[in-house]
Structure 1
C-alpha cells in the first residue's frame, strides 16, 4: 500500500500520584497528536525498584468520560474502585475500568512487589456513551506464537485472536515480544491508525527506528505493519490502534468532556464529594484534591486535519543554523525560529546547558533533529561534547555514535557555568 510514514512521539517525564509521586513517561497526549483511534493517554513506567522509588501509591481519585487500561510487565498493583471492585493487576492480565459518568479508584503496588513496570492507557468514550455506567472487566489473554514473535491481544483482534473485553469504539491493544534480530509482518485493519510504544530493545517500524519509550504513529490505509528487532536481545512493545476518533475532547486532570463547563462541573462535584464518583473502601488515607483550574477556558482538542500525517506537519524541511556570536544552534521551520540549544566553549569542549522548543512546534521531533545536527557540527569542528543540558544527555544515551567525543559533567564544569551570561 505504498510507503509507510512513521511519526515519532517522544516521551516526557511526569510525576504521578500527588505527594507519593512516582515518575512516568508520557507519550500521549501531545500538542501534535491528541489521539490514536480513541486512545488518548499513554503512560509508561519502570522498571522501578520499589525499595528506591517507593512504588505506586495513588490515593482515591476520579474519572469521567473514559476507560482506563492497566497492563503490567512486572510487579503487582492492588485496585479498588467505587463500583466495589477489588482486583489485582498482574503481568499479562488486563484490567479495564469504565469511568463513564463518574467513578473513583485507587492504585497501590503490593508489598511483595520489588520491581514495578508497565503501562497505563486511557480510552476516550464517544459522546453517545461518555455517561455510561461504571464497569470493571478483567481478561488474561493467552500468548500466541507467530514466526519471530509472541503476542497477547488484550483488546480487539490481531493474528486471529480476539479479546472478549467490551469497548465503545473499534480498538486494538496487544503486547508484542519480538525475538532477537527477528522481522515480523503483522496483518492489521487498514481502517485503523496505529501506535507502537517500545518498552525494551530498538524496533524498526516500517523502516523507522524506535528506541525505548518512543511511540511510533502510523496513519490509516495499511493492511500490514513490519516490525524488526534490531538488537541481540528480545524486544518488547505495546501496539495500540483504532478507527480515527472523529470528535474533539476536553481533557484535564482525570476528566474527559466536550466543553470547559463539563470539566468545571466534574471538578466541583469531586471537591464536594458528591455521589457522582462514589466512595472507595479500604484505602488508609485521604482522597486526592483536584488541582486548580487554569484561568483560561479549556478548549476542545482533536487530531487537526492539517496534522493528520507527518508530511503535512511542516511545509519545509527544518533548517539548523549555528549562531556563533550568541553561542547557540537554532532550528528554523518556514524561516521562523522553532527552538534552540545553547552552549559555552571551554578549551576544546562545547558545554551544552539548555535546549528548548517553542510550544507551537512541540511534538514534531524537532529537538532531536536540532541536537543531532549540533553534535555533528561539534564533531566536524574537532571539539568535544559536555552534556549539562538534560535533553542533550538523554539524547546521547540513545545515540552511542557520539560516545567517543563526549566528556562527563564534572563539579568543576558546573561551577564554571554558574557565571554564564543570560540567554
Structure 2
C-alpha cells in the first residue's frame, strides 16, 4: 500500500472506474493534468477556509436534528430512510460550502437531486463490475434501460449545477470584476489572499466556486471545466460523508455501551445545550473518544472499500519473501491495480484479535496492542500522492453531525455486525439494507 500510494507511476485511476458517471474533473484527471488541477484547487481546502464552514455545518446539523425530532422518532425506522436523510443534509452542506448556494435539501428535496446522485452511483457501480458496459456502444446495446436512464440523470444534474454556476458567476463578476483596472487589482490581491470579501462573506473564505471562478477569469479554466468540477465535488462530498455518518450511527446502535460512553464525553465537553447548537471546533479537538469511534467506523466499514489505479509506466516494487530476503518485482505499464482497503483494515495479522469487531480502543491514545501497526494499514482517505483533498472537511462535518445526534437521540438496532451483507460498488453499500431497522428515541437528559 505504501509503495503504490507513493509511486508517481500510480497516480492515475484504473480503467475499472471509467464507468463512473462523471469521467471529467479532478476525480478522473490523469498525470500532469491532475497535478495542475489539484494545485489549483488546494487553496479552497486550507484550514482557514474549512474553519469558516463551521457555522454552515452547525446550521444544517440543527436542521437535521429538527427533521429527526419531527419525522424520525420511533421503533421501526428504516435504514434506507436514514440514508436518504443524511444524503440530503450533506448535499445541502456541500452546495453551501462549495457553491455558496442554499438549496433547502434537508427540509425537502423537491428536485430529487440526492436521489439522482444515488441512482447514478448505482449505475456507475454496475458498469465498474461489468467493464464491457464501459464501452458506450455496448452499454447502449446490452443495457438500454440503464443507458437511457443514466443519460436522463446526468442531464438533470448538469442542468441543476449549471443554473447554480451561472448565477454565482454573474455575482462573482459583479463583485470582483467591475472595471479592467479593478479586475487587475483584485487578481493581484486574490493571489495574495488579501482580496476584500463582500458583506455576505465576512469570514474572508475562498470557497471552492470562488477559487475556480478566479481561474476562469485568469484563463486557467473554461466554464465547461467549472461545471465538471462542481459536479464531481458535490458528488464525492455528499456520498462519502453521508455514508460515514450513517455507518457510525448504525455501529453505535449495535453497541449501546459505546454509545453511552460517547454521550458521557459529549455531556462533559458540552455542559450547556447552547454549546451543542453552536459547536466550536476547538471543543471537538478535546473529544478523543469521538475521534476513536469515527476512525474505528472508517476502519471496519470503510466508505470506499477499494482504490483502483493504473500504471502509467514500468516500475518496481520492493518486497520481502517469507525468509526476509528482499527482491524487486516489476509492475508493467498499463497494469490495473486494485488496493483492497476493506479487507486489509480487517486483517487480524495487522489489527489483532478484535479486527472483525467494532473496537474503538484500536485508536485510543497509547494502545497499540501486541503488534506494530504499519502507518499505511489504515487508509480510509487514501494516502501518499493522491490522498483525498476533502478528508479534513469530511471529519469536521461528521464530528459535528454525530455530536448533535448522540446528544439529542438514542439509537438501537437488533441488526448485528455479522448480519451485514456487502455489495461490490464505488462506496460501501449493504445488500440487505431494506431489512435493517433502527429504534430512535429522544434523549431525555438532553
Higher strand share: 1
TM-score, normalization by structure 1: 0.24
Bigger RCO of structures 1 and 2 (CA < 8 A, at least 6 apart): 2
Higher helix share: 2
